Every structure is written in structure tokens, then in C-alpha cells.
Amino acid sequence: MKKLPLLFVSILLCVAFPLKAQLPMSLEQVVDLALENNYSLRIVRNQQQISVNNVTLGNAGMLPSLDVRSQFSGNLNNTDQVLRDGSENALRNIHNTAFNATLQGSWMLFDGFRAQIRYRQLDELRSLSELNTRMALENLVARVAAEYYFYVQQQRLFSNLQYAVDLSKERVRIEQEHFLLGSGSKVRLLQAQVNLNADSSRLERQYEVLSASRIRLAELVAAEDLNTGLVPADTLILVNPGLQFDVLREDVASQNTAINMALQNRIISAYDLEIIRSRRLPYLNLTSGYGYTLSNSQSGAISQQQTWGMNYGLTVGINLYDGRNLQRQQSNARIQLENQELALERMRQEIYADLLTLFNAYTNNMRLLGLETQNLEVARENLDIAFDRYRLGALSGFELREVQKNLLEAEERLLSIQYQAKMAEISLLQLSGRILEQL
């Protein structure tokens, strides 16, 4: 008995899942599709663009402002006047109007270097948004790779379960022949049928697992139709055996995105403290403008008046006392900066702890791979021998079933170890900041 060829397995999958199209794709192709279409990543990229747009001299307060304002107003009044000579004057429906237009500019020439510090801080915030996008990229690639290899693992399990079903069918056929020839029993035939039904039930459940994994892959790549047949082209889970702890540790120190984000947050907090300190320095503000005013009056000595010209001013000031609010804000900024330094050290410790844990899991699974591979070869050879003896009647159905279960469990253990080793490899690459280059 040989395992079903991969082509037949694919045909069975097509029958099990009525998909619109089967699109075998490599991991690189799936990752590229996810990086292009994933909705969450597109949102993060838009947020990064906002941070890029914010890095301007005007947003930092280093450029002047210029406003144009115009206003028209009027009033309609009735006036009764008693003059000094005793005469009276009554004015009715007096309509007075006024119009003015002003071009006004303002420029903070010096504000204690706050504008320059703010500009540098905006640039650091842009760098932080780039790191945030990189983290989103790394997380997405890790999720896609994990789901991709999970599907490969479940597809292999499907193949193994189909093989188990075929063995059980062959066993039922043999028991039927023995029963018809009078050399078998009804009990053995029924037991073989029970085992076949159990294997078929597991195979049906495996269909559901594969379908759910395929849908999750389609969701990660933001497919328009989640029922699109996106199927991994790989049939094996190959683990990179060459990861070295010292190299990974060096890469973590310099390239880990979470650590670099913590470093960036510390720099931004340091700028916050500098901005607060700059408020102790004097400021110098220049204002200037040009205006035009037109007035019309139906009462008084002047019926119409026009005025135009420019104005300017220079303001110098310094904050002497503000209720000690500046000292409070400066103290809080120092505490926030200390918190960022503590968060950085905590992040480093957590990352190195994860590195140690994952590398131990990686090395242990690599050792187990060789053992379980050898164990699987022995289990396959044992099944071949057992089935030949079963055909000859030298082995009971119960003993054959145990041998069959041992083979299935050996295959499942090997696939589980391969998958766990691959997940450890992906996590190590993500910690070291190399996942985008090596997956």
C-alpha cells in the first residue's frame, strides 16, 4: 500500500470545498498579496503618511501667519437733539455704514527655541510612525507565514487520514472475503467497519479544519471573495537548521522593532522636557498689517471718511510667574522621561527572555525532528509487515489496528514538531528584525 499521490489529494480537496478557483501560491506570493491588500496594514500606512505630512516648518511654528479680514457693519437710528440755544433737532431713519479690510501678519521671531525643538520632535514622530508600520508589516508576515504552514500541516494530516481510510477499506474488503469463504467471523467484519467509520469521521472533520484555515488566509490577503481557492503550493514544512543564538542576539540589540520604538519614545519624551524648559526664556513677536476703512454717516459734520495705511509692532516678553505650573510640568516631564527609560529596559529584558525561550524550543524541536523522522520510518515498515501478516491471517484485526494507530500518531507527532519548529523559527526571525528579508 502506498500513500495517495498529492494530485489525488488535491482532487479530493476540490471536491470537499466547492471553490471558485484553485490558486496554488508560494509563501512569497501570499505575503506579497497580503502586504498589498491587507486592510489593517493599509490603515497603518495611512497613519504613517499623516505623520510625514506633519513634519513641516509651519506646523512647528517657525513660519509667519498672514490673515485677511473684512467687515461691513451699519446701523439705523432715530435721534432727538436739544441744542444749547434751546432749539430742537429731530433726526429720523439715520443710516450709518462702515467697511474695513485688513491684511494682518504675525511672526514669532524667537520663542526660546521651542519651534526648532518641536520640528525635531515632529521628525522623530515620523520615524516612530515608520517603526510602527514596520512592526505591523512584521506582525502581518508572521501571521501569514504561520497560517500558511498551518494549512500545509493540516493538508498533510488530511493525506495521512485518507491513507488511514484506504487501509481500513482494504481491511473491510479482506474481512468480507474471509467471511464469505467461511474463514472469518461477523464480529471481525463489523469491527473493521466500525474502524472504517471512525477514520472516515476524522477525515470529514479535517475538511472543516482545512476550510477554516483557507478562509483565514483569504482574510489576511483581503481577498474580495473569501471563498476564493487560495491554496499553498508547498507540501512540506522545511525548517532552517542554521539559526545561531549569538547572531540572533546581536540582531535583536540593533534591529528589533519593539526596542527601537522604545528608544524613539524616549527621544520624544526628552524633547517634551526641552520644550517645557524653553518656556523660561524670553520671546519676541513681530506683527504688521495694512488696513482700509470706509465710513458713511448721515449725521455729524463728516458724511464720508476713508482711512488706509499700515501698522506694526514688536512684542518682547518673558514669563516670570505662572503659579508654579511650569515647574510642575517640568517635573512631570522628567518623570515621564524616566518612565520611558524604564520601559526601554523592561522591553529589552522581555525581548531577551522571549529570545531564550524560543531558541530553546527551536533547538529542542530540531533534535526531536531527527528522532521522530526515524520513528516514522520504523512505523511505516512495521505497518507493511503487519498488513502482509494480516492478509495471511497471522495477525488479528485488533493488532493491525494498533499498528495503524501507531503509524498515524507517529506522522502526527512529526508534523506537529515540524510546525512548532517552524513557528519558533518565524518568531526568532521576527524578534531579530530579519523576518521581512528572510521570509
Ordered DSSP codes for 285-346 = EEEEEEEEEEEE-SSSS-SEEEEEEEEEEEEEE----STTHHHHHHHHHHHHHHHHHHHHHH
Tell me the domains of the chain and their CATH numbers. Answer: 6-58+113-286+332-438 (1.20.1600.10)
How many Cα atoms occupy the beta-carbon half-sphere of 316 within 13 Å? 0
By the 8 A CB rule, do 432 and 358 touch? Answer: no
Phi and psi, residue 307, nearest 5°: -135, 135
The set of residues, in sequence order, having a beta carbon less than 8 Å from that of 45 and lying 6+ positions away, is 133
Radius of gyration of the chain (CA): 40
Over its length of 439 residues, how does the chain's per-residue pLDDT go in tens digits?
333 333 344 444 444 444 444 568 999 999 999 999 999 999 999 999 999 999 999 999 999 999 999 999 998 888 888 888 888 888 888 888 999 999 999 999 999 999 999 999 999 999 999 999 999 999 999 999 999 999 999 999 999 999 989 989 988 998 888 788 777 788 888 988 999 999 999 999 999 999 999 999 999 999 888 887 688 999 999 999 999 999 999 999 999 999 999 999 999 999 999 999 999 999 999 999 999 999 988 777 788 889 999 999 999 999 999 999 999 999 999 999 999 999 999 999 999 999 999 999 999 999 999 999 999 999 999 999 998 888 888 888 888 889 989 999 999 999 999 999 999 999 999 999 999 988 7
Overall size of the chain counted in residues? 439
